[in-house]
Chain A
Amino acid sequence: MREINVTQKLEKSKDFLRKLQEESGQDPGQCFQCMKCTGGCPVQFAMDYPPSQIMRMLQDGLVDEVLNSFTIWTCATCSTCTARCPRDIDIAQLMDTLRVMAFHKRRFNKAKNMRVFHTVFMDSIGSHGRLYEVGLALGLNLGTGNLLQDTDIGLPMFMKGKLSLLPHNIKGMNEIKRLYDYAKKIGE
């Protein structure tokens, strides 16, 4: 087992933890480790650290470990944890803020699929104003290298008239562009 000096870790990570608290409006220090979040989490089996452990790691200043975790990316934001937390912490909101912070720091570690998906998705809206599903599927499969993912459902979708082969651009694309440019300008 690795030893850590919690005092040093907390000193080193205090700016990050203050920012996390400001942006999420949540204080991980309130967690008393009852583990109800972990008990009810429907995705816990796919995580590297259960949600309650993420909370404990934040209390101990283990920021790098949290930002590099797969947990923050595979959380489905179902908010079961938030609904059941006896300390009223919006844990799903904390996970969301951690994802945003990891995205800005380009920390993806094992979350390559998520990096590709979110990037292609946001690019699609930035280009068309609406999601272009064929473009998303192509971009996702090429980016992740999972070339055959969901090819079995593409044809049935098309046959049912659910797949549009060409993108649809909204009229107000200039507004969407302004929103994207502004997001880049303020770094959010």
Chain B
Amino acid sequence: MKLSYYPGCGLSGSSKELDISVKAISGPLGIDIVEVPDWNCCGGTSAHSTGHFLSFALPARNVVKAEKTGCDEFTAPCPACYVRHFLAQKQLNEDAKMKRHLENALGQNFEQSDIKIKNLIEVYIDRFSSSNVTKPLKGLKVVNYYGCALVKPPKTFNFFDDPENPKSLEKIMDTCGAESIEWPYKTECCGASLCFTNQDVVWKNGRDILQVAKDSGAQAIVVACTMCQMNLDMRQAQINKKYKTNFNIPVMYFTQLMGLAMGIPADRLGFDKLYVDAKPLLHSLKLL
């Protein structure tokens, strides 16, 4: 299957380990990654907070480019980017006024866009089974943290999972041989881009999420979202300083753990890019 791949600004920089691990596991799962040619930033929170046209037009330019590559599916691993591209395609197909604006701006006409826009969990969930697992993650106890963007609002996106109690990461971790612990903070919001503009929110929400994860008995947090990962991992030291706590909880992408379970060496999965070192934990469980 040819997958049109939109790394976005995050995966080219601050979330490199997600890019590295996605590329490492996709080949063995029969997925051929084709990067969107000359892609641009989707506009993030700022575009949709400041205007209607650019928040549509920026991701729409990428969707049009992806369509031309002849791929069957499109993914943006960052859930915020995924949301923007999903909505842009919807508008391209259903909002004649916006489409006309885009055509006027770029001086071209655009066809109906049919490429299937999926989030990263959807890409892997039906393509990953126990037959891919050569090194089960025995003894690893995790909580799965979905954050908000992947699962909400459910009526806008076609994501199959439950918006309040999703289970797809549990299914993937179960296939990996890890133990998922039930906890009540699966879809709580980390504060996302408020980390730039209102850090107190991100520190408080991060502290709460880390505390509940710890109290639940988890050794690590599994994430699918770049904003969640950064706010819990990169900012864990800031949270410890602010609240005088001593959290030392690795926050890993589900793709990194899939790779480990598939027998891919840790140095090809970006574990060295994490701020809270996951290696001591993985060593103690003889998973490295």
Interface residues of A (CB under 8 A from B): 23, 42-43, 45-46, 73-74, 76-80, 82-83, 88, 90, 92, 96, 99-100, 103-104, 111, 113-114, 117-118, 121-122, 125, 129-131, 133, 140, 149, 152-153, 156-157, 160-164, 168, 170-172, 175-176, 178-183, 186, 188
Contact = CB atoms under 8 A, between A and B. Distances in A.
Contact of B273 (A130, A152, A162): A162
Interface of B: 9, 12-16, 38-41, 43-54, 57-58, 61, 101, 104-107, 148-149, 152-156, 163-164, 187-189, 191-194, 196-201, 204-205, 234-235, 237-238, 272-273, 275
A81 to B, nearest CB: 9
Nearest to B51: A188
B41 A131 contact: yes
B51 A42 contact: no
A161 B191 CA distance: 25
Nearest to A47: B201
A79 B152 CA distance: 6
Contacts of A118: 45-46, 49-50
Contacts of B234: 153, 156-157
Query: Which of A113, A130, A164 counts the most B-chain CB atoms under 10 A from its CB?
Result: A130
B14 A162 contact: yes
Given A153-B234, A179-B57, A42 B191 contact: yes
Query: Which of A77, A129, A153, A157 counts the most B-chain CB atoms under 10 A from its CB?
Result: A77
B153 A83 contact: yes
A163 B13 contact: yes
Given A74-B194, A76-B193, A78-B192, A121 B40 contact: no
Nearest to B273: A160
A117 B194 CA distance: 10
Nearest to B189: A78
A179 B105 contact: yes
A179 B273 contact: no
6 contacts: A42-B188, A46-B201, A76-B148, A96-B48, A179-B57, A188-B53
Contact of A77 (B13, B45, B57, B199): B45
A76 B191 contact: yes
B195 to A, nearest CB: 8
A148 to B, nearest CB: 12
B44 to A, nearest CB: 7
Contacts of A74: 194, 197-198, 201
Nearest to A72: B49
B49 A179 contact: no
B40 A172 contact: yes
A186 B102 CA distance: 11
Contact of B51 (A82, A103, A111, A162): A103
Nearest to A43: B201
Contact of B39 (A42, A80, A133, A170): A170
B163 A180 contact: no
A78 B148 contact: yes
